[in-house]
Amino acid sequence: MAAKSRCIIIGASHAAAQLAPTLRQQGWTGSISMISNEYFLPYHRPPLSKDYLAGAKNAEQILIRPATIYNKCDIGITMGVTAATIDRRNKQLQLEDGMTMDYDKLVLTTGARVRKIDIPGVDLDGVFYLRDLNDAQQIKLFTGDNKRAVIIGGGYIGLETASALRKLGMQVTVLEAMPRILQRVTAPEVAAFYARIHKEEGVEIVADVQAISISGDKQVQSVQCHNGTEYKADLVIIGVGVIPNTALAEQAGLTIDNGIVVDEYARTSDENILAAGDCTSHYNPIYQRHLRLESVQNALDQATVAASTICGNLKPYSALPWFWSDQYDLKLQIAGLSQGYTDVVVRGDIEGSRSFAAFYMREGKLLAVDAVNRPQDFMFGKRLILQGNQLDPEQLADDSLPLKTLIAS
């Protein structure tokens, strides 16, 4: 690889922090430049709604890698700057500050941004979205024992945030517009489990209700709903999903379809531009469809594939998606994708305990597993999904039968 070659990485999150050092490990001898619109080194995002918000970790403790790693690998990081345009013909990147950078390989790790809601009062002090470290730092200023928090959105981020705020002694209400929490991502049985747990932990969950306005005199005081109910609030956090950051790729004329389309080698429709992480859409051979995943695992794996591709060592990306969520003393580990399931098999006491596994089935085959405080069920569940064999629901539900006995030798 010519020493003058330059690889520019746009974005500085999980995918970027994985990609840059991996390029060095794979033999890239050219320059590596990382462009970030934040003022922090790449950091872990999941703790923002968990340990960081609850005060269990500080900003330095959630860094993905220490500064010494970037120095050791000769990785340049430009902070507080946004990429403006890509000139594919001349292989140039222009930044919003007017600076122009030449590239040989360009990697988009631009992630996703929060989906915003358009209701009166969202600009009041004490109303936040939670996506980055700056958001979390500002939110912490409004937390405190016995203060009141309203969370708009009953997805995983909203529920994780509720858990963290309860640890800080706050009174927490979660407002969910759909008939139940976690409706888009879990079975009714799993949603009912989390509704029960949060109720036991002192969180008020109100489903099938639409927040229509937020009131206050400069600072938030309450949230009004479509049915006339009102909830007092010292803090409001809105978590209603994210949108992939594809604007730069669109401007460059790259193929977009619910994300920046990449092939199995993380290449976009321009062979000199690659992409990885939440901003991408890729074909998954296991589920035989195109996916856009909001997953740390996907960001890391795809970034590793991108590094190999740039260094001329093509290794196709084919991985089973997995995710996790930490709430209170519960660790939920999710293997696979449950969309399209027809049956749910529950292993363990989902109604009275704090540990179970839910298996999502279709035509006798396992699509996905939700395992709460059951790491063994999660691990063996992954193997059963990849195995792809017909499974007996009664055996899956039998807690006395080890799952490893169902794996074909």
State which of 310, 339, 366 marks the end of a domain.
Answer: 310
Q: pLDDT tens digits for the chain (409 residues)?
A: 444 799 999 999 899 999 999 999 999 999 999 999 999 999 999 999 999 999 999 999 999 999 999 999 999 999 999 999 999 999 999 999 999 999 999 999 999 999 999 999 999 999 999 999 999 999 999 999 999 999 999 999 999 999 999 999 999 999 999 999 999 999 999 999 999 999 999 999 999 999 999 999 999 999 999 999 999 999 999 999 999 999 999 999 999 999 999 999 999 999 999 999 999 999 999 999 999 999 999 999 999 999 999 999 999 999 999 999 999 999 999 999 999 999 999 999 999 999 999 999 999 999 999 999 999 999 999 999 999 999 999 999 999 999 999 998 6
Contact 120, 214 (CB under 8 A): yes
Q: Is residue 274 part of a domain?
A: yes
Task: Indicate whether 148 and 235 sit together in one domain.
Answer: yes
Task: Indicate whether 109 and 158 sit together in one domain.
Answer: no
Task: Indicate whether 131 and 234 sit together in one domain.
Answer: yes
Taking phi over 0 as left and psi of -120 to 50 as alpha, with beta for the rest, 78 belongs to beta
Task: Indicate whether 210 and 247 sit together in one domain.
Answer: no
Contact 382, 402 (CB under 8 A): no
What is the domain range of residue 381?
A: 329-406
The distance in angstroms from the start CA to the end CA of the chain is 44
- pLDDT at res. 245: 98
Q: Is residue 294 part of a domain?
A: yes
- pLDDT at res. 408: 81
HSE-up of 66 (CA within 13 Å, CB side)? 2
Q: Which residues pair with 362 in a beta bridge?
A: 365
CATH code (residue 341): 3.30.390.30
Q: Is residue 216 part of a domain?
A: yes
- pLDDT at res. 409: 67
Q: Is residue 200 part of a domain?
A: yes
What is each CA distance from 405 to 76, 372, 381, 402, in whole angstroms? 50, 21, 12, 6
Six-digit token pair at 158?
A: 């909203």
Task: Indicate whether 136 and 201 sit together in one domain.
Answer: yes
Cα 277 from Cα 234, distance rounded (Å):
35
Contact 152, 239 (CB under 8 A): yes
**Residue position matching structure tokens 């669109």:** 250
**Residue position matching structure tokens 């690659």:** 274
Cα 45 from Cα 50, distance rounded (Å):
10
HSE-up of 117 (CA within 13 Å, CB side)? 22
SS3 95: strand
Query: How far does CA 266 lie from the centroid of its chain?
Result: 19
Task: Indicate whether 293 and 228 sit together in one domain.
Answer: no
Task: Indicate whether 165 and 208 sit together in one domain.
Answer: yes
Q: Is residue 53 part of a domain?
A: yes
The set of residues, in sequence order, having a beta carbon less than 8 Å from that of 353 and lying 6+ positions away, is none
Model confidence, pTM: 0.95
- Other CB atoms within 10 A of residue 191 CB: 21
Task: Indicate whether 200 and 217 sit together in one domain.
Answer: yes
Task: Indicate whether 32 and 105 sit together in one domain.
Answer: yes
Task: Indicate whether 108 and 248 sit together in one domain.
Answer: yes
Reported as type and span, the H/E element at residue 86 is strand 83-87
Looking at 236-318, list the stretches that DSSP marks H as alpha helix, in order from N- to C-terminal side: 247-251, 296-310
Q: Which of 289, 307, 332 is nearest to 155 (CA)?
A: 332
User: Tell me, what amino acid is at 62?
Assistant: I
Bridge pairing between strands 75-78 and 83-87: unpaired
Reported as type and span, the H/E element at residue 237 is strand 235-238
Q: Is residue 319 part of a domain?
A: no
Q: Is residue 321 part of a domain?
A: no
Q: Is residue 118 part of a domain?
A: no
State which of 240, 269, 293 marks the end of a domain.
Answer: 240
CATH code (residue 269): 3.50.50.60
Task: Indicate whether 226 and 298 sit together in one domain.
Answer: no
**Residue position matching structure tokens 């009664």:** 394
Six-digit token pair at 327?
A: 């709430």
Cα 193 from Cα 355, distance rounded (Å):
10
Handedness of CA 285, 185, 224, 216 (dihedral sign): negative
Contact 9, 16 (CB under 8 A): yes
SS3 301: helix
Contact 197, 163 (CB under 8 A): no
Six-digit token pair at 324?
A: 């996790």
Task: Indicate whether 225 and 270 sit together in one domain.
Answer: no
State which of 201, 221, 240 marks the end of a domain.
Answer: 240
Contact 13, 45 (CB under 8 A): yes
How many structural domains comprise the chain?
3
